[in-house]
Structures are given as structure tokens and as C-alpha cells.
Chains A and B, each alone.
Chain A
Amino acid sequence: MKKGELILVLLSMVMFLSACVQGPTYVSKQKAFPALYEERPLSIVVLPPINMTSAADAKEYYATTIAEPLSYAGYYIYPIEVTNDILKNEGLYDTESSEGLPPEKYKQFFGADAVMYIKILKWDTSYFVLGGNVTVAVDCLLKSTTTGRDLWKYRGSIVVDTSGNSNNSGGGIAGLVAKLIVTAIATATTDYVPIAKQVNLITISSMPYGKYNPNFDKDRDAQIILQQQEASK
């Protein structure tokens, strides 16, 4: 076989193989979330998460983990402890009532530029014959209180193997992170908070930076993993 032919064969093999392994598709932040770059919100009110799991305490516990990473992303986050109390007083703490309100109301009420809706999709432990898994999955949606548009949305999830074996089901960065914390939670399988924090880090890393972050507006070309349409339901 001539050298040229060999290269051609090798090349087509590589193409063939890479087609089989469907890796993640990357997209720039600018392309994924153009509305956020247009509107440049500064202040965000985080609504009480909508708990779609059977774990009754997930809503309260998860809320303790979200202000910190959002502030580092560069946004002004209204004190969740206080806003939750106010929403409770107004009868808006429950799922349906806070979701049903038009986003513009949060501008009138709090002066917020944007409102964050969070759904806790998974917060559970599943036991197998040997050990078990802890899964935390959240779905975040940021809406403008001026135009009502979706500014940013992302879904993050982590599965952590708590059996003490090293083979965990989370791949990529998530898997790596999960490995690091698996020992920490091996003793207390019901402690979801450290996992929720990791989910937040992964999810919020896809969010364009806000004005308080030194990289504000410099991250338009930053690449993030594109999520399938079904992920933003």
C-alpha cells in the first residue's frame, strides 16, 4: 500500500470512529445566551426552588447552597433568607403561586433585574445490593423582569457512588469532582449538600459573568457544553 493510501485509510477510520463516540458539543456563551449579554442584568432574586422529588427537606436545604456561587459569578443576589420570608408572608412561597406570577412583578416588588427559577429534579438515594448512589439534579432558569425573556438556563446533575467503590457513574468533570467528595459523604449518605454545591458549580459555570466579576463581558467566547433541547423543558 502506498503511503498516501495508508493515510487516507487511517483518516477515514478516525472519522468513522469519532462518529461513533458522540462527545459533547461545545458552544460559546454568547451564542447560547445572547439575551443575557443584551440585557446585562445585575440583580437576581432567587425564588424558592420547586421540589420535584419526594425528599421534603430538599427545598430548604438546597436554598442554603445557591447564593454563594451566584455571587461569585458576579451578580447581586437578594438575601434568600429574607426574600423567602417575604414571599411566605405574601403567600408566594409555594410552588404554584411563585411560578404563576409574571416575572415583571419581581421588578416592582424587589427591584430585581432578573428572577431565577430552580427545579430540584433529583435528590435521592438508590440502594443496590452493594452500596448505592446519591443523585442531585437541578434545572435553573433565569428570566428577565423587564422583557420576560429567558436569559439563561442550564441543567446540572451528579451521581455519586456511595458504596466506596471507585467506579462512579458521573463522567467527565462531574465524575472527577464526584470522586473527590465521595469519601467525604461515604459516612453520611444522606448528606446531599456537598453534592448540591458541586452541581451548582458545574451549572453556574455555564452562566455569563455579571458586573461584579472581573471577567464581566469578557467571556463571550468561553466554550460551554451545549445541552439537548429536552434538557430545558
Chain B
Amino acid sequence: MKIITTVAVLSIFLFAGCVTAPKPMYTWGDYSSSLYNLKKDPQEENLNKHKQVLLKIIEDSRVSGLRVPPGVYCEYGYIMVKEGKSSEALLYYDLEEKTYPESTVFVQRLKSQLTKAKEQQ
């Protein structure tokens, strides 16, 4: 009888081991709070913090083998445009398009804006 109990208990552990917690879909880090701070007080320090948060999301996603959340690459690329770093911006725009093919129409629009701006310079 004791053996049966032991086996039963063991098998519960075994099965419990099979049911692992589902993998999270994304990691958003401190996204909403750093964006909130930036909205509340749009100064350079808060913009830099938000940029760090975006980069950390990208890095953490890579480490955990997760897809970078929708729009994150693109948002970072857009900030790069504002800072005049167009080649970096294109890199992040490409990453958004590659990760989410449904973003193509949108990303192409952003890219053409960028080339137009370049020509005007």
C-alpha cells in the first residue's frame, strides 16, 4: 500500500513537471512607465530613459528567445530619425518589417518620408 502511495505521489510530481508555465509572449519592460514620464515631462533626460527602455526590451527579448513586441523597433527607429541618425533608423525599420510583415505598408511610408527628408537636405 505504501508503495502505491509513493508511486501515486511521484507520478503527481512527474505530471506537474510536464505542465510548465506557458512562455510569456513578450517582454515590455518598463515601457508604459517610461513613456508616461516622457509625456508628463518631455525633457531630454526622460527621452534618454525611454530610449534605454526600448533597447532593453529588444535585448531582453533576444536573450529570452521572444519576438520583440510590435512597434518597438519602429518606435526606436523613429526616434533615430528625429536625432538625424537615418542609417540607424533604416536598420530598425527593417527589423520591424522583418519581424512583422504586416507592417510593410506602414514601414515603407516611413522609409519614403526618410528618403524625401534626405533629398531636401
Which of B35, B39, B70, B105 lies in contact with A77, CB distance below 8 A? B70
Complex contact A64–B39 (CB within 8 A): yes
Q: Which residues of A contact B104 (CB under 8 A)?
A: 111
Cα A193 to Cα B100 with chains together (Å): 29
Q: Which residues of B contact A30 (CB under 8 A)?
A: none
What is the number of contacts between chain A and chain B, taking CB atoms within 8 Å? 80
Query: What bracket does the count of chain A residues touching chain B fall in?
Result: 20 to 34
Complex contact A42–B22 (CB within 8 A): no
Q: Total interface residues on B, using CB and 8 Å?
A: 27
Mark each residue of chain B from 39 to 61: 1 if its CB lies under 8 Å from any CB of chain A, else 0.
11000000000000000000000
Q: Is A198 an interface residue (CB 8 A)?
A: no
Complex contact A193–B32 (CB within 8 A): yes
Q: Is A71 an interface residue (CB 8 A)?
A: yes
Complex contact A71–B78 (CB within 8 A): no
Q: Quick one: closest A residue to B105, CB to CB?
A: A111
Which of B32, B100, B103 lies in contact with A68, CB distance below 8 A? B32
Q: Which residues of A contact B25 (CB under 8 A)?
A: 71-72, 74, 212-214
Mark each residue of chain B from 97 to 121: 1 if its CB lies under 8 Å from any CB of chain A, else 0.
0001011111001100000000000
Shortest Cβ-Cβ A-B pairs, 10 listed: A111-B105, A79-B71, A79-B75, A64-B35, A43-B102, A79-B74, A64-B36, A110-B106, A82-B78, A76-B70
Q: Which residues of A contact B32 (CB under 8 A)?
A: 64-65, 68, 193, 197
Which residues 195-228 in A have Cβ within 8 Å of B in the complex?
197, 212-214
Q: Is A81 an interface residue (CB 8 A)?
A: yes
Q: Which residues of A contact B71 (CB under 8 A)?
A: 67, 71, 77-80, 82
Cα A231 to Cα B54 with chains together (Å): 37
Cα A224 to Cα B74 with chains together (Å): 34
Q: Is A39 an interface residue (CB 8 A)?
A: no
Complex contact B26–A111 (CB within 8 A): no
Q: Quick one: closest B residue to A75, CB to CB?
A: B70
Q: Which residues of A contact B106 (CB under 8 A)?
A: 78, 83, 110-112
Q: Quick one: closest B residue to A81, CB to CB?
A: B75
Complex contact A78–B103 (CB within 8 A): yes
Cα A61 to Cα B26 with chains together (Å): 22
Complex contact B70–A82 (CB within 8 A): no
Interface residues of A (CB under 8 A from B): 42-43, 60-61, 64-65, 67-68, 71-72, 74-83, 85-86, 109-113, 193, 197, 212-214
Cα A85 to Cα B110 with chains together (Å): 11
Give, as a whole number of angstroms, the nearest-CB distance from B95 to chain A. Answer: 13
Q: Which residues of B contact A74 (CB under 8 A)?
A: 25
Given A64-B35, A71-B26, A72-B25, A79 contacting B72 (CB threshold 8 A): yes
Cα A86 to Cα B112 with chains together (Å): 13
A-B contact pairs, 13 of them (CB 8 A): A64-B35, A64-B39, A67-B71, A71-B70, A72-B25, A76-B103, A78-B106, A82-B74, A82-B75, A85-B78, A86-B109, A109-B109, A212-B67
Complex contact A60–B70 (CB within 8 A): no
Give, as a whole number of angstroms, the nearest-CB distance from B106 to chain A. Answer: 5
Which of A72, A75, A81 lies in contact with B78, CB distance below 8 A? A81
Q: Which residues of A contact B22 (CB under 8 A)?
A: 214
Q: Which residues of B contact A77 (CB under 8 A)?
A: 70-71
Complex contact B75–A76 (CB within 8 A): no
Complex contact B100–A76 (CB within 8 A): yes
